[in-house]
Amino acid sequence: MADVYVCDSSALVDGGAGVRFPVLAFGDPATGFAVRFGGRVYAYLNRCAHVPTELDWVKGQFFESGGEYLMCATHGAVYRPETGVCAGGPCRGARLRAIAVREVDGQVLWQPDERIQSPA
């Protein structure tokens, strides 16, 4: 499957706002998101592992105030940005669904798979 454009690399600042993008998750419309942490880009399905609600409290705001963890605005669960593993809250030990992502020539691209596909 062909890579799908998310944003320019410069749009993702370490520990800053993320970029949302449309996906089909298991055949249903959903949202993915990409963030930068520790100089690397990570992408996940925008669904809390506790209850399937979107994480961001304001569109694109996924990090808690310290910029160290991704946080579910609804349940307060916090996730490690580099693994998606829940580090605290009601879903401790669960994880976010990772989406394969890479940077090429100043662009962030995600890679569809059998579960997470491009809507177009």
Q: What is the pLDDT of residues 43-85, one digit of tens each?
A: 999 999 988 899 998 899 999 999 999 999 988 899 999 999 9
**C-alpha span between 61 and 64 (Å, rounded):** 8
Close Cβ partners of 97 (under 8 Å, ≥ 6 residues apart):
25, 44, 45, 47, 84, 115, 116
User: pTM here?
Assistant: 0.95
Return the minimum-mean-pLDDT range out of 5-19, 25-39, 65-79: 65-79
Per this entry, what is the length of the chain? 120
What end-to-end distance do the CA atoms of the chain give, in Å? 12
Whose tokens are 């454009």? That residue is: 5
